[in-house]
Structures are given as C-alpha cells and as structure tokens.
Structure 1
C-alpha cells in the first residue's frame, strides 16, 4: 500500500533541499547534516528521514545544477567556433566556481558525497577532450596544448582563493586562456 506524502513533509523536503543547495554553494559539500538541519529550522532526524545519507542530499540538491552543466557542455560542443567553445567552457567553469563551490566539488573533485555524479564527470571529461582536440586541430590553441593542460587550468580556477573573488578570478581566467591561445 502506498502512502500519500503529507503536505508538511513535502514542504520540509523542498525546504531542506533549498537550504542544502545554498549551503553547499557557499561552503562546499563537507557541511555537516546537523548544520543543514539547524539552518532549515528542523531536527536532524527530519533531515535524515528525507535523506538518509549526505550523498542522497547532495544528489538531489545539485541535480538541477548538474543538468545545467550538461546543457552548457552540449552547447559548447554545438558551437561552430572551436576557440569560442573551449574558452566559453573555461569561463563558464569559472562562473560556476564563483557561484557554487559544491557544484565544483561534485563535478571536478572527488568528494565521496558526489558519487552520484560520476557518470557526469566522465561525460564532461570526454566532452572537454573533444573541445581541446577540435581547438588544437583548428589552430585555436597552441599545438602542444593537451586536455591535461586545460585540466590544470580548471584546477587552478577551482582552487583559487582570492580576496576579491570575481575580479581576481576573471583575471586568472584571462591569463590562462592567453597561455592556451594559438598564434
């Protein structure tokens, strides 16, 4: 026999997801479940009733953002200009870095709670390789640039901790793209 979800339970679930999404964006995926419960104004047992593990909560909280990243990568692959496709992907990664630390950890890092996105990470890696290969073949990047070089750029962006994040991160991206650019 199936039970219909009570309205207050459905509300609590949506509220927990919204609070977790904001918390993960600002502070990363290591935020304790009890802190998410506190910020949601609920007991930790209520959070665990809806999301038995941190990975369950991470998967739901970041699902929309990950779907948007998938769409961004599809758009980059469809972009006819190889440089615009690759540089736009790097710039987009930086924008996500500014807005959502948890998303960065889920798609780029190896945080255990982000296991639900392993297939997305593999697909993003495959697509990035395509973008780099296409840009190199078109002469849009230096001939010696590899996908690993671009990953180093993304790692620099991911780990960057400036005092004025937006301005400094945009400057870092400009410098990295200049280093990759072909003649």
Structure 2
C-alpha cells in the first residue's frame, strides 16, 4: 500500500493565478474595488471561469491581492507601538499609513469596508485598528493627542486621503504627505504650527485658489 503524493498545482495554473493577482493589484490600485472581475480577467489574459476557479469572490481576491499591504500596515503600527515616545509613534503611524494608502486606492477601500467572506483580512484590519487605538491612548496620556480623538477620525482621515487626485503617482504621495502633516496638526491637543511638506500638483485646481 503506497501513500498518495500531495497534488502539486500545474505550472500553468500557478502562472494564471499570479497573472490574476498582478492584474487585480494594478486595477484595484488605480480604479478602486468597483472594477468588475471580468475586467480583471481580461487584463490578466484569462477567462472568467479561470478567475473564479482561483478566486470565487472579489473578497477573496482582494484579500490575496492586498496581503503585502496588510503586512506593511502591521509593520507600521508595530513600529509605532514600539516607539518610546507615544506621540512620535502616533505621528509616524499617521504619516506612513497615509503614504501606504495613497499608493493604492483599492487598499483603502478594502481597509474601510466590511468583507464578511474575507475573514483573514477582517482580522488583520481589526488588529491594526486595535493597535492604533492602544497607541492613541498612550499618546493621550502624554497630553499631546487631543482627548476627543476616536478611531472614526482615523477612518475619516483615510477616506479623505483616498480622495486625493494628483497629476502623477509621485505627486499623489507628495500630496498625501502634506495632508498627513495637516491631519497631525489637527490631532494635536495644543496647536503647534510647524512647516508643511512641499505642495504637490493636483489633478484638479479649483478656480480662484492659489498655489
């Protein structure tokens, strides 16, 4: 009696899976989560049936596509918690989280959305939010973070950050850095004006506003 060897996925199936993930990351980053899965399949060069065989739902696809971003998000909040100065750690988290999210619109949408079928992603998001809540509590104890700050303010900030439309990817990141600096000033318990990062060229300029 011989043991059955584990089934190893064929190389073409693995290639299809990677192409689908690559296409999903690119489309989610630029278009957000509203991209139809058929468009993801078209970009990946596979049929819809092949996509659904690997990823039965958009939630599962998003979970896999954003795995690297979630790991980076964990590293950011863990570094913030490890900072001996809670306020400095909190500010660092705000700056890095804004930049991380500015590089991928889809990640922000997934982060603030409820995906009941993406259990792993939900757990990761909850971990990040609980860690930030703990860090915010420590920062409040120093007297530097305003006492009425709540996690909803962080979600509001991420949603606003996600709305930035810049002329290029580099300008998008630059605009996000400036926005993060403005948000940090708003979160201070006592106003303490400091120089802002350079202004970035945005995709839309409202008439009458000066740069």
TM-score range, shorter chain: 0.7 to 0.9
Alpha carbons 2:20, 2:51 under 8 Å: kept: yes
Q: Residues 42-95 of structure 1, C-alpha deviation per residue, up to 9 Å, x if partnerless? A: 111111121122122111111122122112211111111112211111111211
Q: Residues 150, 53 of structure 1: CA spacing in aligned structure 2 closer, same or farther, 3 A cutoff?
A: closer
Matching residue of 2:177: 170
Alpha carbons 1:90, 1:154 under 8 Å: kept: no
Matching residue of 2:82: 78
Alpha carbons 1:55, 1:115 under 8 Å: kept: no
Matching residue of 2:43: 39
**Does residue 104 of structure 1 match 2:108?**
yes
**How far does residue 117 in structure 1 lie from its aligned partner after superposition?**
1.6
Q: Residues 126-158 of structure 1, C-alpha deviation per residue, up to 9 Å, x if partnerless? A: 111111111111122234444444444334323
Matching residue of 1:179: 186
- 5+ residue gaps, structure 1, are none
Matching residue of 1:66: 70
Aligned-pair RMSD on alpha carbons? 2.2
Which whole-Å CA distance do the structure 2 matches of 1:47 and 1:68 have between them?
Answer: 26
**What TM-score results when the alignment is normalised by the length of structure 1?**
0.86
Matched position secondary structure for 1:4: coil
**Does residue 119 of structure 1 match 2:123?**
yes
Q: Residues 112, 23 of structure 1: CA spacing in aligned structure 2 closer, same or farther, 3 A cutoff?
A: farther
- 5+ residue gaps, structure 2, are 191-211
**What TM-score results when the alignment is normalised by the length of structure 2?**
0.76
**Does residue 51 of structure 1 match 2:69?**
no
Deviates more, 1:162-171 or 1:129-138: 162-171
Q: Residues 7, 133 of structure 1: CA spacing in aligned structure 2 closer, same or farther, 3 A cutoff?
A: same
Deviates more, 1:102-111 or 1:13-22: 102-111
How many pairs were matched up? 182
Which whole-Å CA distance do the structure 2 matches of 1:154 and 1:78 have between them?
Answer: 23
Alpha carbons 1:55, 1:116 under 8 Å: kept: no
Matching residue of 2:164: 161
Which whole-Å CA distance do the structure 2 matches of 1:84 and 1:5 have between them?
Answer: 47
Matching residue of 2:142: 138
Which whole-Å CA distance do the structure 2 matches of 1:59 and 1:146 have between them?
Answer: 26
Q: Which has the higher contact order (CA 8 A, sep 6+)?
A: 1
